[in-house]
Amino acid sequence: MNHFHFINGKFTRGHSTETIAVDNPATEQVIATVPRGTDQDVDDAVQAAKAAFASWKRVSASERAEMLHEASQKMRRHKHEIIELLTREEGKPLPENEEEVVWTYSTFDYYAELGRHSRGRVIPSTEDGVLNMVIKEPYGVVGCIVPWNYPLLLLAWKVAPALAAGNTVVIKPSEMTPLTALQLCELAFDHFPPGVINVVTGDGTTGEALVRHPEVPMIAFTGSLSTGQKIASIAAPMMKKLHFELGGKDAFVIADDADPELAARAVAYAGLINAGQVCTSTERVYVPQALAGRFIEDLVDLVSSLNLGDGMDPNTDIGPMIGTRYRQKVVDHIADAKAKGARVLIGGNIPNRKGYFHEPTVLVDVNHSMKIMTEETFGPAIPVMTYTDFDEAIRLANDSIYGLGACLFTSDAKKARRFFEEVKAGTIWINDPLTDNYAGPFGGMKYTGGGRELGEEGLDEFRETKHVHWDIEARPKSWWLPYHK
């Protein structure tokens, strides 16, 4: 497999003299090296994408749809190789990666059809003989900057709607997981005209070159808040269109009528899938005093039954974290919480083995003075706090700078309604956390950033809206100056 940039339909070393090592987080072994893309590499990719845009934007929506479906078909055919490489570069267990790959190709199918059938509209005119239309246009070259935790899914949520809308793309995958993006170029994107899809590998400096490039009018970015803030400050003077999906600190509230055993299973899943490295991970749990004993006991039992291991092992429930920097943040948050009075009921340590593992951890006696309840932890730690009444639970759920997702467990429709109306988050899950829907817009409020992926909103992010007002007969108007003529 090629481990170079993919520019104008070809794999190339480009101008890079430096490389970045990609390791398997379960073994710490280097599995490949990729070039650290330079400004010149980024410019080559942008020029290729710009040249391709001139014809791609004129390709009919139906032809574009067929090419997106073909990409999806190829991913289906190569599904097992893709799942395996994804597991080796990202670390989560095989079944989770299978789900990611299915979501990836299905997203291409979804946007193939949405792009084919959503082309703008005619609106009522205020004058006879005048045609008013709302039409949708692509931006041009879109820079897609992707994180490591769902490297293919988050690529698909950007690239599929961007292409369906008629844009061309330059993708900058995460330096930790660039291999599957390159694999798709080889296995699934080879039928696109050269320059329509380009990948430049590299780290933040490469991403920044893409953001700074004057011929990239739109940046679609998923990643951390601090990187998003940097991108915003660079792009603002150029008035670029920015699409942001930033961090989260999702609350999971258990109402007093909920089944504590079922809630414990849902929390273990939502807090520990992908070793807690999901933007919508359950990062803090609120349980009423009356249910706390039973809920916590069940949660600790469940967590104690989970197997930590290499994602390639079919017995593994939880894989490694992506790297030491991310694991250290979990260690720091747990230490800060313990210093302020929290108790660790299970886990809390780095196991003595190769790989960037951290034990799945449950903490109690936590409060909002602790980092683990206010800053994104992004790891396998579940802090559980008790509350007295539902007003307090809603207030605590809203006590965050982030607003990505929130979950409630209840059978009480009144509580459900209060929760989805009053909690400020882009997605509200009731009794079924972390379930996405291709047609359901996904994104955040507050510091999580605006913009939505998936759904029609996710296509519209990649299109400019233009209003056309057309007097077909070109008649003179009584209100034109000078009035007396």
Q: Where along the sequence are the contacts to ligand NAD (CB under 6 A)?
A: 145-149, 154, 172, 174-175, 203-204, 207-208, 211, 222-224, 227, 230-231, 245-248, 279, 376, 378, 404, 444, 448
Nearest distance from residue 442's CB to ligand NAD, in Å?
7
Cβ-based neighbours of 179, under 8 Å, separated by 6 or more: 1, 3, 22, 31, 32, 34, 85, 88, 89
**Distance between CA atoms of residues 419 and 260, nearest Å:** 19
Nearer to ligand NAD, 378 or 409 (CB): 378
**358 token code pair:** 């951290």
Structure letter (DSSP) for residue 165:
T
**Distance between CA atoms of residues 99 and 78, nearest Å:** 14
Nearest distance from residue 224's CB to ligand NAD, in Å?
4
Nearest distance from residue 390's CB to ligand NAD, in Å?
27
185 in active site: no
Nearer to ligand NAD, 146 or 303 (CB): 146
Name the residue among 369, 267, 368, 382 with its Cα closest to residue 330.
382
398, 401, 402, 407 alpha-carbon torsion, rounded to 10°: -20
Burial per residue of 82-113, b for 16 or more beta-carbon CB atoms within 10 angstroms, e otherwise: bbebbbbbbbbbbebbbebbebbbbbbbbbbe
Nearest distance from residue 243's CB to ligand NAD, in Å?
10
**First-to-last CA distance in the chain?**
73
Cβ-based neighbours of 42, under 8 Å, separated by 6 or more: 170, 200, 206, 209, 210, 213
Nearer to ligand NAD, 156 or 254 (CB): 156
Specify the residue for token string 């109306």: 421
Cβ-based neighbours of 236, under 8 Å, separated by 6 or more: none
CB 394 within 8 A of CB 365: no
- Angle formed by the axes of helices 61-77 and 79-90, nearest 10°: 80
Name the active-site residue from 245, 283, 359, 375. Answer: 245
Nearer to ligand NAD, 34 or 370 (CB): 34
Nearer to ligand NAD, 50 or 230 (CB): 230
Nearest distance from residue 326's CB to ligand NAD, in Å?
7
245 in active site: yes
Nearer to ligand NAD, 115 or 173 (CB): 173
Residue 50: C-alpha distances to residues 27, 47, 64, 73, 170 (Å): 40, 5, 17, 27, 10
Name the active-site residue from 90, 279, 283, 375. Answer: 279
Nearest distance from residue 313's CB to ligand NAD, in Å?
25
Name the residue among 223, 254, 248, 470 with its Cα closest to residue 378.
248
Cβ-based neighbours of 426, under 8 Å, separated by 6 or more: 403, 404, 405, 441, 442, 443, 444, 445, 448, 452
Cβ-based neighbours of 365, under 8 Å, separated by 6 or more: 341, 342, 343
CB 379 within 8 A of CB 326: yes
The residue sitting closest to ligand NAD, measured at its beta carbon, is 207
Residue 84: C-alpha distances to residues 62, 78, 230 (Å): 33, 10, 34
Nearer to ligand NAD, 67 or 231 (CB): 231
Nearest distance from residue 49's CB to ligand NAD, in Å?
17
Nearest distance from residue 473's CB to ligand NAD, in Å?
49
Nearer to ligand NAD, 46 or 296 (CB): 46
Active site residues: 245, 279
